[in-house]
A = this chain, B = another copy of it.
Amino acid sequence: MTLTEILEAFRSGTLSPEEAEAAITGRFFRQIGHSTVDTDRTRRTGAHEVIYGEYKTPAQIADLVATMHDTDQNVMVTRTTAAAHEAVVRIAPEARFHADARLITSVRHPVAVKTTRVAVVTAGTSDLPVAEEAALTAEFFGSPVTRINDVGVAGVHRLLARVEEIRAARVVVVVAGMEGALPSVVGGLVDKPVIAVPTSIGYGASFSGITALLGMLNSCASGVSVVNIDNGFGAGFLANMINGL
């Protein structure tokens, strides 16, 4: 029953007030002990919930995976571990673990692949785990991804050599630590939205990514916005959302 059907059934008296309330509530979330799963998210935001794996036990994660597969959704778990994957794979044998990106993905319903691409660009090799989190997230939701690694600003010719590949994408994710200058340079070279992801790569006055974050927020290039430090997932999710507009 759609919401309209429920309301009509309530007006016509087919449903009692209590039945209407239960029917309506059931459409929006489901409580499973420790969590309140948001089953309405796809309708509202165009994409279902993703499981934030940090702080959760393997058993809790496996519970949540089971619940989501029960409602016919593909599952992604972020910031998770091999131990959690072991628990998940028992109930979802198709689940894969991406160690670098710390992601579990379990895909039962192939997602339509878009025709336009997302570019994921890194400043240095050490930024790859966060970049992979972004790239795999975009792919999980249906965006093809072009990966361009280790083209930081200290050797700007490496970037210039690959500008055409970047310009060929519909949206660009730029991942950088240390001084976080790459998004500014990329933003000045392309006519596409740039999503900047600061990473915690660096030492001393990099302050675990704060310097990169601040640099990106103050970018002198237009068309750049920023997500949280090491938030590859958020960047990949947003990139796919923009790519799908």
Contact = CB atoms under 8 A, between A and B. Distances in A.
A165 to B, nearest CB: 13
Given A28-B161, A151-B36, A205 B195 contact: no
A201 B55 CA distance: 8
A35 B230 CA distance: 20
A221 B38 CA distance: 12
- Most chain B beta carbons < 10 A, residue from A34, A124, A180: A180
A123 B207 CA distance: 24
B221 A228 contact: no
B125 A35 contact: yes
Given A29-B158, A205-B210, A152 B220 contact: yes
Contacts of A234: 222, 224-225
Contact of A125 (B56, B170, B184): B56
B46 A179 contact: no
A156 interface: yes
Nearest to A221: B154
Interface stretch (A66-74, A84-92, A106-114, A185-193): A185-193
Interface string A143-182: 0000001111111111011000000001100000011110
A191 B44 contact: yes
A94 interface: no
A-B pairs, 9 with minimum CB distance: A204-B229, A46-B191, A181-B181, A225-B225, A154-B188, A36-B150, A38-B155, A55-B126, A179-B215
B54 A158 contact: no
A137 to B, nearest CB: 10
Contacts of A23: none
The winner among A25, A158, A187 for most chain B CB atoms within 10 A is A158
A245 B29 CA distance: 33
Contact of A25 (B161, B184, B217, B219): B161
12 contacts: A44-B190, A45-B223, A171-B245, A193-B241, A204-B217, A204-B218, A205-B218, A205-B229, A206-B218, A211-B214, A225-B235, A242-B242
